[in-house]
Structure 1
Amino acid sequence: MTTDINFAPGELVRARGREWVVLPGSSDDIMSLRPLAGSERELQVLSRSLEIDGITSATFKLPTADRVGPQDEALLLRDAFQMSLRRGAGPFRSAGRISFEPRSYQLVPMMMGLKLDVVRLLIADDVGIGKTIEAGLIARELYDRGEIERLSVLCPPHLVKQWVDQLRTKFHLPAVAVTPSSASRLERGLPINDSIFRAHSITVVSLDYVKSDARRDHYAEYCPELCIVDEAHTCVASEDSHQRYRLVERIAAKVDRHLLLLTATPHSGDDVAYSKLLGLIDPSFRNLIGDAERWNPELRDRLAERYVQRRRVDIEAWNEAGAFPKHEVAVPDATYKLAGDHEAFLELALDYCTATVERAGSDEKHQRLAFWGTLALMRCVGSSPAAALHALTTRSANMGDEPDSSSVLDNFDADGENNDVEPSLITDDTDLAALISLAQTLVAQPGKDPKVMALIKRLRPMIAEGFKPIIFCRYISTAKWVRDALAKEFKKHRVEVVTGELASDDRRAIVDDMASDEARILVATDCLSEGIDLQELFDAVVHYDLSWNPTRHQQRNGRVDRFGQLSKIVRSLLVYGENNPVDGAVLEVILRKAEKIQKATGVPVPLPDDDRKVTQAVLKALLLRRKNVRDGRGRQMSLDFDDVPLVKEMEQKWLDAAERERANRTVFAQRSLRPEDVRPEWERTRGILGRPEEIETFVRRGLARLNIPHVQLDGGGIRLDGARLPSTIVDRMDIPVTGTVRLIPAGGTTDHLHRTHPLVSALADLLIERSLDTMADPDDPSILPRSGAWTTSVVKRITTVLLLRIRHQIATQSESGLLLAEETDAIAFEGANDFPSLLGVEANVLLSGIATQETSMAAKVREVRTALSRIDVWRGAIEERALDRSRALVEDHRRIRDAVKGRGRIDVFPVLPVDIIGLFVLMPELD
């Protein structure tokens, strides 16, 4: 059965015995519909030609006088409709779909993207500023504007789950993980020649799963309209990343594909890698290296429109008070002094290492094997007796293998993973009996380890202040050694250990499970130092083992010192040995200089020593001085390495790189964007959709209406038992609420009470669906009357307030066609006047005025019937109000486009007739 009537988005139709709203994407025959009394989870796609009873026009039913309710029911109905809005009418389409309150600075990349026909951005904000948030806002906005239908995130394997969780919980985008373990399951049941990336519109993909020659072409062919590449520097950073680079280069080659590149370290000192990264945005940027002020001005300005790079001080300059915690560096450091057997073991190990290097002679390969092998042993000795014993008693399977110098020096792996396994000795030297025996003695006396004792001494006051620390160790054996010691000392705390022995999902599961323990301590290797956000559970970092790469320390601190941290203060602490010359060398030449340079320039810059020649030279000098001391030709080893020529050279290169980086950051366009110009529009949109205090009030009223047990908390918030929620609520929740939960109006936890929280959505959908169902049982407590009357002092004459739902069609110049937006509104008429007395917020406020004198039900029904008889007279004013709202929305959109210097035209049209959700008569008090 067909019909000649065509329906536009927002219009009402009747099919299969109920009313529906026509959604964008519908055609003359195939129609996408949402139930008028239901949620978007019940979307249906119907073919008009196959519908036996056809699809016909429908009208929204008016309220009736059959059941006239009191004020509290009217307010609950109003709030339920407001909370149910998903398609916000403001210029930011995504505002109604996110579950957090973004900061002004996080809107800047989205603003920059709105300027571009094809959104291609390099987002290079510092660690902890919120690049995932910024990319997610862009993705959600493009998705809600209809400019993309699919998106994909490419990230290192260990970040896949975190991205899936972030997209689902913060942006309500149903992401699917694509990894080696999940791909076969996702492919099962797909038609031949179909693709995961076409069957699933939103995917988070392990870079290492799709980078291979066998999968690269397939992914590039089916890659969605928007691709987000996280840790983008790993795609260009080294020879090991060539497969990743070829993959992303293929994706970027499609000039109309939206592309977001995310990295906190766009320039690691390698100009070639940097130019390759810029070339992914646009091939013309490949030659932009060196000082940005000397670049071709036209190219530089074009790049500035696509490059976002900000430090904390940049954010603070935008008056973003409270965006980040205050970072305190614990003073003094946690130092310890080796004595007795522990000092003897270090001396014996250093003597062994020095002798081993001497015995290597002039043979170049033997020299390399000896140097790197002894260096690895020195690291283990300084880490813990357990790590030293493991290294001393483990031999490499292949004695001739070259050692992994990258692992010894803490270089970053292309996968973002860290090798935390203790190195094997690459030697056939059997003269280790004395070292092994002494190591076994130390391992048998864990309570006498001076390094652990120094840690415990500094942890006690830190924990007493309420800090929840993460202790970072270099090796697996050390992490377990420290965990065992802390578990004995802090018996009331839950102490867990996470190392590279565990799969990434298991690591995350252990961390997440600690949320239920208020007293918690986490010991981890650097497998947790990059990418994984820990700010909701921990607020202190202890560097138990010094990293030989200062960027690693920044990454460790960045796990807690970041946007979303619930504590106002975070703290970091260094642990090192006063008489350990290896620790001294790392502190003096690397870490202290990094700190000095960052304080002088305000810019954290990677160590310009990628081949680590300086590090090698310093450590060789250390061994030489050890030999001189042993042979009686020098005094005890000095920590002054300025006489090593490469050290001075490296420091100057480092300062030059920092100055160049600071100058480059002043070039880019986000400094000229003014978030304060756009923030009011965002606030207005969020205000229409519901503010935190309004959301909490709605939830409390809704739970009380349905007789669901809950407790109102002092200071705001609600506590309830998820097990006591009725099935009518649970069945409507995308993510179930289980166990006892505390819902707070604002914060960074998963129980943040936002308008898209599953409980809020489920309550709103249930109340609306039941209240609009004319066939529902009137005794059902979830049914709210759509008409009401009460006496109040806020009016002097009988005043009728009509609660409206206005649907708008938004027409843009994009290929997405018409978009649908919705908003609630109110209009008030005094007595029998044909023209409204109050509009919008002012009319809405009348409903909240305190009800006073009792009035008989007969009088209430009479007044409601009188008001209903005036509806046809008021229709003209209602439609004019809808037109005014559409015109206002055009201006809102225009202001945003002007702020970002956007192009194109926006037209907004109301869908008429307007839905009259509720009719409420306010009667003045009798004298």
Structure 2
Amino acid sequence: MLTDIAPGARILCRDAEWLVKSVALSSDGDRIIEAVGVSEFLRGRRIRFLEELEKKDRKRGLQVLKPEETHLVIDETSGYVRSLLFVEANLKQTIPEDGRIYWGHKAAMDALNYQLIPATKALQMPRQRLLIADAVGLGKTLECGILVTELIGRGKGRRILVVTTKSMMGQFQKEFWLRFTIPLVRLDSEEIQRVRSRLPGNHNPFHYYDRTIISIDTLKQDREYRSYLEQAHWDIIIIDEAHNVARRGKGQSASQRAKLAERLATRSDTLILLSATPHDGKPESFASLMNMLDPTAIANESNYTKNDIHDLYLRRFKKDVLRDLNQSIPERNVEPVEAIASPPEEAVFRKLHDLQLVSIDRGKSAGQLFKTTLLKAFLSSPAAGLETVQNRLKTLQKKLDISTELDQAELTDLAAGLAAIDQGSFSKYQRLIQLIKTEFQWTGKDPKDRLVIFTGRLETLRFLEAELPQDLRLKPEAIARLDGGMADIDQVEIVEKFGYENSPVRILIATEVASEGLNLHYLSHKLIHFDIPWSLMTLQQRNGRIDRYGQTRKPEIRYLLTRSQVERMDEVERIIKVLLTKDEQAIKNIGDPSVFMGVFDPEKEENLTAAAIESGVSAADFAEELDRNAKGEGDVDIFSWFESESGDTDEGVSMDSSQGEPLVETGSLLSLFPSIFQFTATALRFINSQTSPVHNLQINEDEGFIELQLPQELKSRYDRLPKEIQPQDNRLLYLSDRPEDMMRAMEQARTEDADWSAVQYLWELHPLVEWISDRCLFYFGRHQAPVIQLSQGLESDEVIFICFGSFPNRRGTSVLNRWVSVIFKQGKFQRVEPFAETQKRTELGLHELPNSGTVNIDDLLPLRSPAIQQARQYLQQERQRFQDQLNPQLEAQRERLERLQGYHVEQLELRWESDNISANLKQDKQQKERHKIDKIFQDYRDWVELSMTTESEPYLKLIFVIQQA
């Protein structure tokens, strides 16, 4: 095995020269070398080599160019610009080896301290496998983007897969591109068909795109595509709204979503799960998510502690990050809005109160009575109540017994009462119109003042969609609806239109499909619950659509209730008001509103509320019961170990004891240019002076933007990026390096009804910068290093050979990088120093350099071999220090795995002791489970050994030479 192959190395293979971009191990242990063409006819072409296969070809083989044979060349360009660009491009190959934040805090966002903490925590882990479980509205997508940015910068993010819900695909894709320039190709139903038509039948479409986003439901429904996905390997997998892929309940039963996620978890080193509601109160359910992250952590899914898993998740609530948020989210204003039931509605309330369903509700458990279902539907709207009654009558008509006839008579009478409630006597709807027109003084004329109206019932949604345009004097296109029955493309389109200022949409009416994850706050700060969910978790999710990071106006939230003179029916609304009070209490003091009910599942919370209503409990008694649950006095397990005793939820992150906040350290890498803008501008000007200029190039340093027409070589790279980011109709590519300008451009795009901002963020991850960096690496020929003459910072007759050295781990990933200066004086070796010190004393890159073009190369040639020898010796010492620091961590991992494996085996034996099956069958099943445990731990040991042990020989490259002028 050629140990000196690492990112940045130049190799000869198949009679051509290539630049190594990454090195990874295949499933059978062979090294996969990804490279980009350097030779003129292959320039920019990407290819993968299998090292073992190439070595077998004796004629062509695979050769690494030796650093001591590097040709020293004269750079005749003015100011040594070619050399400076070449050196800078090589500097950009440097990979940080610590846990500091180098790029994420510079994204196009107002990054707050707490949003950097997940990346800081993850970078301290052997493998970046983490559940980010922050509460609704705190910016989990952005926290994820910061972490992914850091991983890309460390060479760990070439292939990325994001799995999310249908409605979230477009939003997630935009956030990753506009703020982080991470391009995700959206594989919606249309794109899947397009890719299939372009590829041969036996090709895996997930090898066609490196970075994709896809809906979990699309994968669930498409067996063939799901198979392709499971066969692909990724550097990073992100599962958004991860609670949707958790196993529910005890035992081995799992939904298609859960099975798919469990298989995906094995296809990537890095796994990031995102969810504001990560558990349903059952330890087995939460354990399924933890096992995706680390299958060695939990031995008994029904019995484990916080200490087993605290490294695997991060969870904060609004109250925990108020210091950061006070500048970002104004405190919300929440008010209940009451309607007085009309006479026809009172008649229905009386019928519901007196309703006796002999057959339908016989044997039903608490919270499951159809009578309660009818009440809940009616509290949404008479239309929803009538639909519910009519559907049940159709079912009853198929049965021919006396008991059902009595129920049919009751329901028929109720249906007549519901049908008698017209629009004018629908008091809550009339109160809605009054609220919008009078109290909000809303006319729909201001495109930046839009309404979000939630309802849990589809029939209520249809009623509002039909009636609101006329009563609010709006055109039909001013009302948009969003429900779960819509196609993925339609859902994405509706959400995007609601965020465009030029769009005619003024009101979004949505069911619960819009309650998870969506950003609806750009042009809206008013949200109305037309009906109130009987679940605190659903309330939290709904409110989070406008009460979230990035909201600049005070969120105005209103809850509509209908008050009745029928005492028990009115008590129901008072019980529901208790939920509203507890939700506000949680936001201000507790954090997680679900602790009040302790069942951690929206459907179960609704059943609990229904059971309270059916039992005849008072609102006061219901409130007391919820308070007992929150204090841990009830019978429910509220997963209190999510919170540490000190209130610190940021375990694994160093703390500033004086401030009580986690410390986030940022760092910067060596550079010869003051900014990425200066590097890009200098490189483009230099390219423009060559034989193939960049057309329509405009560089404005005062305003910080660059404009150009895509060169053909760069355009070919864009062809496999999302079509949304490619300049359309031969328009110019416009880039800004100022985050504040980018954020303004995002807002401007929404005012112009644009899908994507025409401005793109100019920073390290942008495809243009990556293309320029690759091109600059080719500015000198095969195995060449330029010589630069400096007039300051060097002693007389001093010569410095600057080398880059790196050690990969045994998985082929670079983990130790050093830039070293080997210093000679009068032809004799003096010392080795870090290049950072050399740059500081010579101020290389800070001043213009006169270039006389007169360099005596012959005197330098004899120094190459001793320079490489000294650099290699220095690097070996650095490697030993690094490995000495790593070895205790490696040993700790070995001991941890040994201890955990023993505990897993112990728990396995305990589980089988009480089983009554035959001894032979028990032994057979136990052996299979033992084999599974052994394989899990052996795979993890292999990963740890390969990842935490460096190769003995460095990759070493002579970059350039400095000589006194």
Query: For residue 363 of structure 1, what is the aligned residue in structure 2?
Result: 358
Asked whether the 8 Å contact 2:481–2:509 carries over to 1, the reply is: yes
Asked whether the 8 Å contact 2:374–2:389 carries over to 1, the reply is: no
Give me the whole-angstrom Cα distance separating, in 1, the residues matched to 2:699 and 2:875.
39
Counterpart code for 1:850: H
- Residues 325-368 of structure 1 deviation map (CA, whole Å, 9 limit, x = unaligned): 6433344x467676xxxx6xx41352232243256335252895
Q: Per the alignment, in what secondary structure is the counterpart of residue 255 of structure 2? A: helix
Give me the whole-angstrom Cα distance separating, in 1, the residues matched to 2:44 and 2:467.
51
- Of 849, 861, 876, the residue aligned with 2:853 is 861
Query: For residue 64 of structure 1, what is the aligned residue in structure 2?
Result: 73
Query: For residue 307 of structure 2, what is the aligned residue in structure 1?
Result: 301
**Structure 2 vs 1, CA of residues 454 and 848 (structure 1 numbering), >3 Å: closer, same or farther?**
farther
**Structure 2 vs 1, CA of residues 39 and 91 (structure 1 numbering), >3 Å: closer, same or farther?**
farther
Shift of 1:380: 2.7
Shift of 1:592: 0.6
- Of 767, 779, 794, the residue aligned with 1:758 is 767
- Residues 24-55 of structure 1 deviation map (CA, whole Å, 9 limit, x = unaligned): 35999997544357887623437455686555
Q: Per the alignment, in what secondary structure is the counterpart of residue 107 of structure 1? A: helix
Asked whether the 8 Å contact 1:469–1:539 carries over to 2, the reply is: yes
- Residues 464-507 of structure 1 deviation map (CA, whole Å, 9 limit, x = unaligned): 9x88875656553477479859997999x999664546423333
Give me the whole-angstrom Cα distance separating, in 2, the residues matched to 1:325 and 1:712.
32
Give me the whole-angstrom Cα distance separating, in 1, the residues matched to 2:78 and 2:591.
62
Query: For residue 20 of structure 1, what is the aligned residue in structure 2?
Result: 18
Q: Is 1:236 equivalent to 2:279 in the alignment? A: no
Shift of 1:713: 7.3
Worse overlay, 140-149 or 505-514: 140-149
Q: Per the alignment, in what secondary structure is the counterpart of residue 687 of structure 1? A: coil
Query: For residue 610 of structure 2, what is the aligned residue in structure 1?
Result: 616
Counterpart code for 1:82: L
Counterpart code for 2:12: R
Asked whether the 8 Å contact 1:696–1:745 carries over to 2, the reply is: no
**Structure 2 vs 1, CA of residues 487 and 282 (structure 1 numbering), >3 Å: closer, same or farther?**
same
Give me the whole-angstrom Cα distance separating, in 1, the residues matched to 2:801 and 2:62.
28
Q: Per the alignment, in what secondary structure is the counterpart of residue 399 of structure 1? A: helix
- Of 835, 838, 846, the residue aligned with 1:843 is 838
Query: For residue 687 of structure 1, what is the aligned residue in structure 2?
Result: 669
Give me the whole-angstrom Cα distance separating, in 1, the residues matched to 2:782 and 2:296.
61
Counterpart code for 1:744: D
Give me the whole-angstrom Cα distance separating, in 2, the residues matched to 1:896 and 1:313.
38
Give me the whole-angstrom Cα distance separating, in 2, the residues matched to 1:455 and 1:889.
70
Give me the whole-angstrom Cα distance separating, in 2, the residues matched to 1:41 and 1:669.
50
Give me the whole-angstrom Cα distance separating, in 2, the residues matched to 1:138 and 1:275.
24
- Of 512, 523, 530, the residue aligned with 2:508 is 523
Query: For residue 399 of structure 1, what is the aligned residue in structure 2?
Result: 393
- Of 121, 129, 133, the residue aligned with 1:124 is 133
Q: Is 1:350 equivalent to 2:345 in the alignment? A: yes
Shift of 1:400: 3.9
- Residues 298-334 of structure 1 deviation map (CA, whole Å, 9 limit, x = unaligned): x553333445434355567xxxx74786433344x46
Query: For residue 673 of structure 1, what is the aligned residue in structure 2?
Result: 652
Asked whether the 8 Å contact 1:455–1:575 carries over to 2, the reply is: no
Counterpart code for 1:810: P
Q: CA RMSD in A?
A: 6.0
Q: Is 1:653 equivalent to 2:621 in the alignment? A: no
- Of 441, 452, 456, the residue aligned with 1:457 is 441
- Residues 42-93 of structure 1 deviation map (CA, whole Å, 9 limit, x = unaligned): 234374556865555545754533624215555444434434x2x6253569
Q: Is 1:435 equivalent to 2:421 in the alignment? A: yes
Could you tell me the TM-score, scaled by structure 1's length?
0.68
Shift of 1:666: 0.9
Q: Per the alignment, in what secondary structure is the counterpart of residue 755 of structure 1? A: coil
**Structure 2 vs 1, CA of residues 394 and 522 (structure 1 numbering), >3 Å: closer, same or farther?**
same
**Structure 2 vs 1, CA of residues 512 and 883 (structure 1 numbering), >3 Å: closer, same or farther?**
farther
Query: For residue 264 of structure 1, what is the aligned residue in structure 2?
Result: 276
Asked whether the 8 Å contact 1:809–1:821 carries over to 2, the reply is: yes
Give me the whole-angstrom Cα distance separating, in 1, the residues matched to 2:761 and 2:324.
18
Asked whether the 8 Å contact 2:242–2:274 carries over to 1, the reply is: yes
Asked whether the 8 Å contact 2:100–2:664 carries over to 1, the reply is: no
Give me the whole-angstrom Cα distance separating, in 2, the residues matched to 1:219 and 1:44.
20
Query: For residue 412 of structure 1, what is the aligned residue in structure 2?
Result: none
Counterpart code for 1:847: L
Query: For residue 697 of structure 1, what is the aligned residue in structure 2?
Result: 678
Give me the whole-angstrom Cα distance separating, in 2, the residues matched to 1:449 and 1:350.
18
Asked whether the 8 Å contact 1:718–1:742 carries over to 2, the reply is: yes
Asked whether the 8 Å contact 2:452–2:507 carries over to 1, the reply is: yes
Shift of 1:755: 0.5
Q: Is 1:604 equivalent to 2:599 in the alignment? A: no
The percent identity for this pair of structures is 16
**Structure 2 vs 1, CA of residues 315 and 836 (structure 1 numbering), >3 Å: closer, same or farther?**
farther
Counterpart code for 1:236: R
Q: Per the alignment, in what secondary structure is the counterpart of residue 365 of structure 1? A: coil
**Structure 2 vs 1, CA of residues 694 and 431 (structure 1 numbering), >3 Å: closer, same or farther?**
same
Shift of 1:200: 8.2
Shift of 1:840: 1.6
Give me the whole-angstrom Cα distance separating, in 2, the residues matched to 1:157 and 1:514.
16
Give me the whole-angstrom Cα distance separating, in 2, the residues matched to 1:72 and 1:579.
74
Counterpart code for 2:487: A
- Residues 277-314 of structure 1 deviation map (CA, whole Å, 9 limit, x = unaligned): 6677659958676xxxxx77xx5533334454343555
Give me the whole-angstrom Cα distance separating, in 2, the residues matched to 1:28 and 1:255.
17
Query: For residue 327 of structure 1, what is the aligned residue in structure 2?
Result: 329
Shift of 1:832: 6.7
Shift of 1:757: 0.8
**Structure 2 vs 1, CA of residues 539 and 305 (structure 1 numbering), >3 Å: closer, same or farther?**
same
Asked whether the 8 Å contact 1:216–1:247 carries over to 2, the reply is: no
Query: For residue 632 of structure 1, what is the aligned residue in structure 2?
Result: none
Shift of 1:450: 0.6
- Of 518, 522, 532, the residue aligned with 1:547 is 532
Worse overlay, 270-279 or 228-237: 270-279
Could you tell me the TM-score, scaled by structure 2's length?
0.66
**Structure 2 vs 1, CA of residues 126 and 909 (structure 1 numbering), >3 Å: closer, same or farther?**
farther
**Structure 2 vs 1, CA of residues 455 and 52 (structure 1 numbering), >3 Å: closer, same or farther?**
farther
Query: How many residues of Structure 1 are paired with residues of Structure 2 in the alignment?
Result: 815
Q: Per the alignment, in what secondary structure is the counterpart of residue 764 of structure 2? A: coil
Give me the whole-angstrom Cα distance separating, in 2, the residues matched to 1:31 and 1:765.
17
Query: For residue 573 of structure 1, what is the aligned residue in structure 2?
Result: 556
**Structure 2 vs 1, CA of residues 220 and 543 (structure 1 numbering), >3 Å: closer, same or farther?**
same
Shift of 1:453: 1.3
- Residues 410-433 of structure 1 deviation map (CA, whole Å, 9 limit, x = unaligned): xxxxxxxxxxxxxxx998834566
Give me the whole-angstrom Cα distance separating, in 2, the residues matched to 1:486 and 1:59.
80
**Structure 2 vs 1, CA of residues 28 and 160 (structure 1 numbering), >3 Å: closer, same or farther?**
closer
Q: Per the alignment, in what secondary structure is the counterpart of residue 302 of structure 1? A: helix
Q: Per the alignment, in what secondary structure is the counterpart of residue 605 of structure 1? A: helix
**Structure 2 vs 1, CA of residues 909 and 265 (structure 1 numbering), >3 Å: closer, same or farther?**
same
Counterpart code for 2:243: H
Q: Per the alignment, in what secondary structure is the counterpart of residue 574 of structure 1? A: strand
Give me the whole-angstrom Cα distance separating, in 2, the residues matched to 1:113 and 1:430.
64
Asked whether the 8 Å contact 1:71–1:790 carries over to 2, the reply is: no
**Structure 2 vs 1, CA of residues 561 and 821 (structure 1 numbering), >3 Å: closer, same or farther?**
farther
**Structure 2 vs 1, CA of residues 766 and 107 (structure 1 numbering), >3 Å: closer, same or farther?**
same
Counterpart code for 1:327: I
Asked whether the 8 Å contact 1:356–1:374 carries over to 2, the reply is: no
Give me the whole-angstrom Cα distance separating, in 2, the residues matched to 1:878 and 1:680.
40
Give me the whole-angstrom Cα distance separating, in 2, the residues matched to 1:820 and 1:274.
33
- Residues 823-853 of structure 1 deviation map (CA, whole Å, 9 limit, x = unaligned): 766677778775469742233342234348x
Alignment of 1:817-832 (within 5 A): 819=814
Counterpart code for 2:18: W
Q: Per the alignment, in what secondary structure is the counterpart of residue 45 of structure 1? A: strand
Instruction: Extract unaligned runs of 5+ from structure 1.
Output: 290-294, 382-387, 403-424, 625-640, 776-783
